[in-house]
Amino acid sequence: MIFVETEPLTDSRPFQQNMKAQQMQMSEILKQNLTTILDEIEQARRRSPCAAGSVRLVAVTKYAQPEWVAALSLLHPVFGENRPQQLADRAAELPQQEWHLIGHLQRNKVRLAVNSAALIHSVDSIRLLQAIDTAVTATSTVPSVLLQVNLSRETEKTGFSSEEIQELWPEILKSAPRVRLQGLMTMAAATDDPEEARPVFRELRELRDKLNQHPHSAACKVRLSELSMGMSGDFVPAVEEGATLVRVGSRLFAGLQSE
């Protein structure tokens, strides 16, 4: 009889237990971060007379690991991506979540965005708005969009100026009859002091109100309800000034380490 020497079987249970412990720790960190942010949003909303009746948190996943996003999807319904292709990929992986495009959109990526995004935050020109309207014919999807306004006056940022959007408002309304214009979006200048962003947020709210009072808005049955403003470092004053959507990424995933 021939005896064959074999390697002893490796017990995989310690590895599996370690993985389960790591997943539980990740979920607990995400839950704590999410709860803290939602509490800060609600407190800001309650204490300000200018705050909206409700505020939605858009979880920004640009720098997040796939396993972080999957874990957060069990806790939160609304996500935002900066890049159209990554938006499409992640929306396909997590179709039960509501996905928003929050980054710059080129006209050659419009169809991809329209097919994947429940809301496009970053429409920064009439040409882009017209391209989205044209895509409706090809996709049979009626997209919802926000117009990006550059109120920080930074040259590296795109978007309509306050003066430009008011001057072009009748043309904007006629440019995309098949697109749902839902509101406005802006980004404040980077700063260590969130209060420095407040004037930008206040100006966006006041601009939204002016456009809603424009006679062409009523004639076209357009009422802007959404204000997308405020990120991880400045969402509290944004909520106090009327934000209905805040875009938060780094605060949500704080404490997690990339492998």
Question: What are the pLDDT digits (tens) for 57-67?
Answer: 999 999 999 99
Write down the pTM of the prediction: 0.91
The candidate with the shortest Cα–Cα distance to 248, out of 240, 259, 236, is: 236
Q: What is the pLDDT of residue 257?
A: 82
Distance, CA of 41 to CA of 39 (rounded, Å)? 5
Average pLDDT of the chain, as a whole number: 92
Domains located in the chain, CATH noted: 21-248 (3.20.20.10)
pLDDT-derived band at 16, boundaries 50, 70, 90: low
Distance, CA of 75 to CA of 32 (rounded, Å)? 11
Average pLDDT rounded to a whole number, residues 217-242: 97
The candidate with the shortest Cα–Cα distance to 179, out of 119, 95, 98, is: 119
Average pLDDT rounded to a whole number, residues 224-233: 98
The candidate with the shortest Cα–Cα distance to 40, out of 55, 29, 30, 60, is: 55
pLDDT tens-digit profile of 84-109?
999 999 999 999 999 999 999 999 99
Distance, CA of 159 to CA of 162 (rounded, Å)? 9
Average pLDDT rounded to a whole number, residues 8-12: 60
Distance, CA of 62 to CA of 196 (rounded, Å)? 25
How many helices and strands in the chain, by DSSP H and E?
A: 10, 8
pLDDT tens-digit profile of 113-139?
999 999 999 999 999 999 999 998 777
The candidate with the shortest Cα–Cα distance to 51, out of 205, 195, 251, 209, is: 205
pLDDT tens-digit profile of 185-224?
999 999 999 999 999 999 999 999 999 999 999 999 999 9
Distance, CA of 124 to CA of 228 (rounded, Å)? 14
